[in-house]
Structure 1
Amino acid sequence: MNLPSPTPKWKPRLLTAVGAAALAILVTLSGVTAPLDAWVYDRLVLGAAPDADPRIVVVDIDQKSLAELGRWPWSRRTHAQLVDRLRLTEVKGIAFNVLLSEPALFDPEGDALLARAISRSGRVVLPVLAEPVQLNGSTVELMPIPEFAASAASLGHAEMALDDDGVARSAYLRAGLGSPHWPALALALLQLDQPPGSNGDLPGRRRVTTGLEPASPYDWVRDYEVRVPFTSPPNAFRHVSYTDVLNQRIPATLLRGNWVVVGVSATGMGPLARAPGQPPTTSMSGTDYQANLLNMLIKRAAITPVSEGWQAVLAAVLSALPLLLSLLPVLRRIWRPTVLTMAGTVVLSMLMLRYGHLWFSPVPALLVLALGASLWVYRLLRRTQRQAQSDALTGLANRSRFDHALDQELRIARRSGQPLSLLVMDIDHFKQLNDTQGHAAGDAALKALGRILRSRARRPRDLVARLGGDEFAVLLPETSAQAAATIATTIHVDLAHHGRKPHGATASTPPPFTASVGIHTYLSGDEAGPEDVFDRADAALYRAKQAGRNRSFSHTGEHEAVEVSPHRV
C-alpha cells in the first residue's frame, strides 16, 4: 500500500537526528557491540587476506623432529648447530622464537656454544615474554640469559595478543614492562637492516595517555596496535622440519636470502590460537603468528583500528544521515535514505579495510539505523492499521472497528454487570442538504457532527464511529440509560448552537442541520447479542424519524421506544 509522504518538518527531523547520533556515540563508547564487531571483522578481513611472502620460511620443531632428536628440551648444542647451518646458507635473518630464559645447569658449555653461534650469525633475534609471577600477581619480563641477550642482534617481545574468544586478531608492534620499549619479534627481525633505535614509520593505533600519571613499572604497556591480516590458511608459508635443516636435507637455495622463523609447532608444546574467520577446530602456533606478523610488515598490509573517538564520530554521522537526507524532496520517504545509508556503511567499512588498511566497525551505526528502521516500520504499520479502521473523511472509527468494539464491550458488560449504551443517529434530510448545497456542504456537516460527538464522548473507552453515509454511532461503556439520554440531549443542544451561523461565516462553514438519535442500553441479564443491541438502537432511531426528526428516542421493549428529548431544542 503506497501511503502519502507529506513534506517532513525539519525541526523534528533535526532533533531526531541529534538523538540518533547521541545513541550511536553511547553504543560505540559502551562497547556492547564488541562480540558483533569481532564477528563482522572476521568475515570482512577474509577478503583482505594477503598472499604468503615466499621469502618467509618457518622452521618447525615438529613431531618428526622430536622423534629424531629426542625429548624436549634439547641441548643448546643442537640449537647452536642449527644457527650455524642457517648462517652458512646465508639467510637474511632468524627469529628464534624459543624461550631461553634459564641457563642449562648441567651443560654450561652448550650455552656457550649457542651464544657464540648467535654472535657469529649476527642476524638472530630472541624473544622476550611477559608472565605473572603468580596468579593475579605482578608481571615480570622473561628475557634470554645475559650471554644470549648480549650475543643476539636484537630482542623482541613475542606476545600473542588474544581476544576474549581466543581469536588472535591484533598485535602490538611495541610493548614492555613499564613502557613499550621492546619491538615485536617480527618487527625486530625486519629492523635488522635499519639504524639502531629507529622505529621507522610504524603503523598502528597509538596508546592514549593522559600525561597525569606515569605508567606503573609493573604493568605490561602496549603501543602501536594493529590488526593482522592473516594469510588463508594462516600456515600458508613454506614450512620445513627443524631436523631436516639440521641434517642438511633441505636445499640451501630454499633458505638463502630468506627470513627464517624458528619455533615450536608440535602438539601440546606451545600456545595455540585461532585466526579470524577460521573454524573453531583449527589452531595456529605462535610461530605462524610471528610469520604472519612478519608477512604483514613486509607487505605494508597492517590494518590500523580507527581511534575510539573517530569510530564514535563516524557512527554518529552515519546514524543521523538518513534523517538529514530525508529533508531532500527526492529522498522524502525515510526508508530510502535509511537503506542507502545502511548499504553505504557496510561498503565504507569494506573499502576502508581493503584499500585504506583501516578498521572501522559498521556495527554501532547499523544497530542505530536498524532500530530507527524498526520504529519507522512500527509507526507505518500502526498508521496503516488506523487508516484501515478509520473513516477517511471524519477520522472517526469505521464500521469494521465499531463492530469489533461493540462485540468486545458487550462481553465486558456481561462479565462486569455494568450497563452499556449505544447511540445511533442520522443527519436529518441529508440527501436534500447535498442536493441543494452541494457535496462540499454535506462533507462539512459530516465533519461537524463528528467533532460534536467526539466532544461528548471523551472517556478512554468511548467510541465514536461513522457507519456509512450520514449514519453515526456512539458506544458508551458503563453508561446508564439516563446518562445516555442526557448525552443525546447535549448533542441536540450543540447542533442548535452550531446552526446559528456567526457573522462573517465563509462558504466552508458547515450549514445548519439537525440529527435524529436512537438509544439502547444493555443491562445485566439480557441475552442480546451485538446485532440485537444495534437493531434495537436502530429501531429507536426509526421511531425518532417517524416522530418528526430532530429528537431522541430510547428503546424500552421489543417493539417500544420512548422519546427522551420531548421538546425541540
Structure 2
Amino acid sequence: MSTAAPAPKWKPRLLTAVGAAALAILVTLSGLTLAPDAAIYDTLALGAAPDADPRIVVVDIDQKSLAELGRWPWSRRTHAQLVDRLTLADAKGIAFNILLSEPALFDPEGDALLARAISRSGRVVLPVFAEPVQLNGATVELMPIPEFAASAASLGHAEMVLDEDGVARSVYLRAGLGSPHWPALALALLQLEQSTGANAELPGRRLVTTDLAPASPYEWVRDHEVRVPFASPPNAFRHVSYTDVLNQRIPASLLRGNWIIVGVSATGMGPITRAPGQPATASMSGADYQANLLNMLIKDAAITPLGEGWQAGLSAALAALPLLLSLLPGLRRIWLPTVLTMAGTVVISVLLLRYGHVWFSPVPALLVLALGASLWIYRLLRRTHKQAQSDALTGLANRTRFDHALDQELRVARRSDQPLSLLVMDIDHFKQLNDTQGHAAGDAALKALGRILRSRARRPRDLVARLGGDEFALLLPETSAQAAATIATTIHVDLANQGRKPHGTSAGTSPPFTASIGIHTHMSGDDAGPEDVFDRADAALYRAKQAGRNRSVSHTGEPDAIGTSATRV
C-alpha cells in the first residue's frame, strides 16, 4: 500500500497569501495607519504641487488695512466700494470669504449699498458656513442675509476641512444640510464663467449615492471628496492689500480678467490652518485655502482618494503578491518578490498620484509586506542558527551545540544536586565498513544510529549529538548511573534488532553494525569541569574498545581511580 504524497508546496504558500491579504484589508479598514498615510502623502504631494495661477488674486484684509480703515467690523459701505472698484476693473469673478450672516443694525443703509453693488457686479459669490448651534449640537447653515443672498451670482460653502493633525488636505466639492446642494466657494466662483450646473461631472470620491437613505435635515452632508494639491508655498498667489485696492493704489491691469478672493489674513481675525508638508509654525488663511482650491479646479489637478473598497482590495493584492510570485521559477526565494513588490507598491502610489491624480496609500500593503519580511528574516536566522549547531547528515546537534549544552547542564546539576550522565559511543570498525561497502553504506549507518539514539532521548532536555566522524554522544540530565547503563543496554539491543532486518527494506536501510559505549555519571559534590566529564566518558569508551567492542563500560565517577563495569550484548 503506497503512502500519500506530501502536500504540494503551493498550498501553504496560497494559504499564507490569503492570510496576508486579509491582514492588509483589516489594517486598511481599521484606520491604524492614518498618521503614516498622512506623512507619506505630504511628502509625495509636494512633488505634485502645481504652480500658482497668475490669474488668481487674493485681496487681504491685513494689518495695513485695519490700520487705515479702523477696527473690524467695517461698515458694509466699505465692502460696497470694494465691489465697485473690482467691477470697474473688470474682474472675472469675486468671492468673499467673509461671514455676512447678520445685518448691520448700526448701519442698515450700508447693507443696502452692498446688496446693490453685488447686484450691479453680477459676478460676486458669497459663502455659506456650517456651525453647530452649541457644543455637540445640531448644525446650522450660516447664510448671507437675504438681501445679499438674493443679489449674489452664486453661493458656495466655505468649509475648511482639517484632519486630526490640524492639516488641511481635503475639500468636499459639494456639501450642505440634508443634502450636498452647495458647491465649494471656489467651485461656485469658477462656475460663473463655465456655466456648469450642479449636475456637471465633478472629480472626487463619491460619498452620497442614490442607494443611501436620505440624510437627516440637520446633518451636514458631504460629497465629491478630493485632496488639494497645494501650491508651494500655499500663499504663492498674488496678494494685494484691501485698502490698496479700495484707494486705487493697485493698477487695474492687476485685477482685470482675474479671479478675486477677498478674505482675512490679519493675525487673530480668521481661521488659519496648515498645508501639507509645511512646518508647524506655518499658517494658511481661509482665502489662500480657497485660492488653492480654485487653482486645482482651473488646472484640473484634483486628487481623488481611492474608496475604502479599492484601497483595501489593492493593498490585499499587493500583500499577497510576493507569495504568489514565489511559486514561479526563479522567484522561489521569498525575499526577492517581497523586495520587488515593496518597491512596486511605492512606484504605483507615486505614478497614480502624479499621472492619474489618484491617491493610493501604500502604507497598509508596505506594513504587511514588512511584517512578512521580518518573519522571513526571523525564520532564516533561526534556521541558520540551527544549521550552525546541527550536523548536516544526521540532523543531530553538532559538537558546538553539545559543548554548550554540556557546560549548561553541568551548572544545573551542581545547583540541583542531581546526577548528569553522558554516553559517548563509536561505530565499531566504521572505516572497514566504509572501505568494503562504500560511503553510502557508512552514511546509512550513521543515520541509523542517530535515529536509534533519538528514540532513546525522549525528554526535552536530553540531547543527542554527532561529535564528528562516527563518534556520537547522548547527554542525559537527572539520570543516575544505573539508568544510564540501562539506556546503553537498550541501544545495543536496538542495534542488534537493526542488524536482523533485511538490508534494502524500508525498515532496514543500513548494513548491520555494532557500537561501543563509554558512560560517565557526574554526581553531587564532584567539581569536575565539562572537559573532565567528557574525558572520563571517552576513557570508558576506550576501555570498551580494548575489551572487544560491542559493549558498554561505565566510569565510576571517582577522579583519582578508574573502575569499570562492562556490559556486552
The 5 A counterparts of 1:138-177 are 138-177=138-177
Instruction: Tell me, in whole angstroms, the C-alpha distance in 2 between the residues paired with 1:311 and 1:196.
Output: 31
1:167-211 Cα offsets, whole Å, 9 max, x none, are 000000000111111100000101113447434220000115584
Q: Is 1:240 aligned with 2:240? A: yes
Instruction: Tell me, in whole angstroms, the C-alpha distance in 2 between the residues paired with 1:148 and 1:196.
Output: 22
Which residue identity is paired with 2:149? Answer: A
Partner of 1:201: 201
Partner of 2:313: 313
Contact 2:60–2:263, Cα closer than 8 Å, also in 1: yes
Change in CA separation of 1:241 and 1:218 when aligned onto 2, cut-off 3 Å: same
Partner of 2:276: 276
1:518-563 Cα offsets, whole Å, 9 max, x none, are 1111111111111111111111111111111111111103332423
Contact 2:62–2:265, Cα closer than 8 Å, also in 1: yes
Q: What SS does the aligned partner of 2:129 have?
A: strand
TM-score normalised over the length of structure 1: 0.97
Which residue identity is paired with 1:291? Answer: A
The number of aligned residues is 561
Instruction: Tell me, in whole angstroms, the C-alpha distance in 2 between the residues paired with 1:238 and 1:503.
Output: 95
Partner of 2:410: 410
Partner of 2:499: 499
The 5 A counterparts of 1:519-530 are 519-530=519-530
Which residue identity is paired with 1:251? Answer: P
Q: What SS does the aligned partner of 1:240 have?
A: strand
Q: What SS does the aligned partner of 2:130 have?
A: strand
Partner of 2:178: 178
Q: What SS does the aligned partner of 1:314 have?
A: helix
Instruction: Tell me, in whole angstroms, the C-alpha distance in 2 between the residues paired with 1:398 and 1:505.
Output: 29
Q: What SS does the aligned partner of 2:330 have?
A: helix
Instruction: Tell me, in whole angstroms, the C-alpha distance in 1 between the residues paired with 2:356 and 2:447.
Output: 62
- In the TM superposition, what is the alpha-carbon distance from 1:509 to its structure 2 partner? 2.5
Which residue identity is paired with 1:563? Answer: S
Partner of 1:188: 188
Partner of 1:436: 436
Contact 1:96–1:263, Cα closer than 8 Å, also in 2: yes
Which residue identity is paired with 1:143? Answer: M
Instruction: Tell me, in whole angstroms, the C-alpha distance in 1 between the residues paired with 2:409 and 2:160.
Output: 69
Q: What SS does the aligned partner of 1:83 have?
A: helix
Q: What SS does the aligned partner of 1:125 have?
A: strand
Partner of 1:490: 490
Contact 1:90–1:255, Cα closer than 8 Å, also in 2: yes
Partner of 1:267: 267
Change in CA separation of 1:122 and 1:541 when aligned onto 2, cut-off 3 Å: same
Partner of 2:564: 562
1:449-501 Cα offsets, whole Å, 9 max, x none, are 00100000021111000001111000011111111111101000000001113
1:137-169 Cα offsets, whole Å, 9 max, x none, are 111111100000000001100000000000000
Consecutive unaligned residues of structure 1, counting only runs of 5 or more, are: 1-6
The 5 A counterparts of 1:386-405 are 386-405=386-405
Which residue identity is paired with 1:340? Answer: L
Consecutive unaligned residues of structure 2, counting only runs of 5 or more, are: 1-6
Identity value in percent: 86
- In the TM superposition, what is the alpha-carbon distance from 1:392 to its structure 2 partner? 0.9
Which residue identity is paired with 1:413? Answer: A
Contact 2:492–2:550, Cα closer than 8 Å, also in 1: yes
Contact 2:191–2:197, Cα closer than 8 Å, also in 1: no
Q: What SS does the aligned partner of 1:331 have?
A: coil
Which residue identity is paired with 2:361? Answer: S
Instruction: Tell me, in whole angstroms, the C-alpha distance in 1 between the residues paired with 2:126 and 2:503.
Output: 101
Contact 2:101–2:142, Cα closer than 8 Å, also in 1: yes
Partner of 1:35: 35
Instruction: Tell me, in whole angstroms, the C-alpha distance in 1 between the residues paired with 2:304 and 2:85.
Output: 38
Contact 2:544–2:566, Cα closer than 8 Å, also in 1: no
Partner of 1:222: 222
Instruction: Tell me, in whole angstroms, the C-alpha distance in 2 between the residues paired with 1:457 and 1:561.
Output: 26
The 5 A counterparts of 1:82-481 are 82-195=82-195, 197-208=197-208, 211=211, 213-481=213-481
Contact 1:540–1:561, Cα closer than 8 Å, also in 2: no
Change in CA separation of 1:215 and 1:343 when aligned onto 2, cut-off 3 Å: same
Partner of 2:3: none
Contact 1:444–1:508, Cα closer than 8 Å, also in 2: no
Contact 1:500–1:512, Cα closer than 8 Å, also in 2: yes
Instruction: Tell me, in whole angstroms, the C-alpha distance in 2 between the residues paired with 1:504 and 1:367.
Output: 52
Contact 1:99–1:127, Cα closer than 8 Å, also in 2: yes
Partner of 1:3: none
Contact 2:555–2:565, Cα closer than 8 Å, also in 1: no
Instruction: Tell me, in whole angstroms, the C-alpha distance in 1 between the residues paired with 2:132 and 2:457.
Output: 75
Contact 1:156–1:183, Cα closer than 8 Å, also in 2: yes
Q: What SS does the aligned partner of 1:270 have?
A: coil
Which residue identity is paired with 2:310? Answer: W
Q: What SS does the aligned partner of 1:369 have?
A: helix
Contact 2:503–2:511, Cα closer than 8 Å, also in 1: no
Instruction: Tell me, in whole angstroms, the C-alpha distance in 2 between the residues paired with 1:83 and 1:20.
Output: 60
Contact 1:441–1:508, Cα closer than 8 Å, also in 2: no
Instruction: Tell me, in whole angstroms, the C-alpha distance in 1 between the residues paired with 2:514 and 2:323.
Output: 48
Which residue identity is paired with 2:406? Answer: L
Contact 2:501–2:508, Cα closer than 8 Å, also in 1: no
Q: What SS does the aligned partner of 1:473 have?
A: strand
Contact 1:229–1:303, Cα closer than 8 Å, also in 2: yes
Q: What SS does the aligned partner of 2:500 have?
A: coil
Which residue identity is paired with 1:99? Answer: L
Which residue identity is paired with 2:455? Answer: S
Q: What SS does the aligned partner of 2:509 have?
A: coil
Instruction: Tell me, in whole angstroms, the C-alpha distance in 2 between the residues paired with 1:266 and 1:8.
Output: 71
Q: What SS does the aligned partner of 1:205 have?
A: coil
Change in CA separation of 1:171 and 1:488 when aligned onto 2, cut-off 3 Å: same
- In the TM superposition, what is the alpha-carbon distance from 1:331 to its structure 2 partner? 1.1
Partner of 1:517: 517
Change in CA separation of 1:326 and 1:315 when aligned onto 2, cut-off 3 Å: same
Q: Is 1:81 aligned with 2:108? A: no
- In the TM superposition, what is the alpha-carbon distance from 1:115 to its structure 2 partner? 0.3
Instruction: Tell me, in whole angstroms, the C-alpha distance in 1 between the residues paired with 2:507 and 2:450.
Output: 19
Instruction: Tell me, in whole angstroms, the C-alpha distance in 2 between the residues paired with 1:349 and 1:14.
Output: 26
- In the TM superposition, what is the alpha-carbon distance from 1:135 to its structure 2 partner? 1.1
Contact 1:130–1:142, Cα closer than 8 Å, also in 2: yes
Instruction: Tell me, in whole angstroms, the C-alpha distance in 1 between the residues paired with 2:227 and 2:506.
Output: 73
1:282-304 Cα offsets, whole Å, 9 max, x none, are 01000000000000000000000
- In the TM superposition, what is the alpha-carbon distance from 1:226 to its structure 2 partner? 0.2
1:57-106 Cα offsets, whole Å, 9 max, x none, are 00000011011101010010000000000000000000011110110101
Of 196-205 and 542-551, more deviation after overlay is shown by 196-205
Contact 2:503–2:510, Cα closer than 8 Å, also in 1: no
- In the TM superposition, what is the alpha-carbon distance from 1:401 to its structure 2 partner? 0.4
- In the TM superposition, what is the alpha-carbon distance from 1:503 to its structure 2 partner? 7.1
Which residue identity is paired with 2:474? Answer: V
Contact 1:203–1:226, Cα closer than 8 Å, also in 2: yes
Which residue identity is paired with 2:205? Answer: R
TM-score normalised over the length of structure 2: 0.97
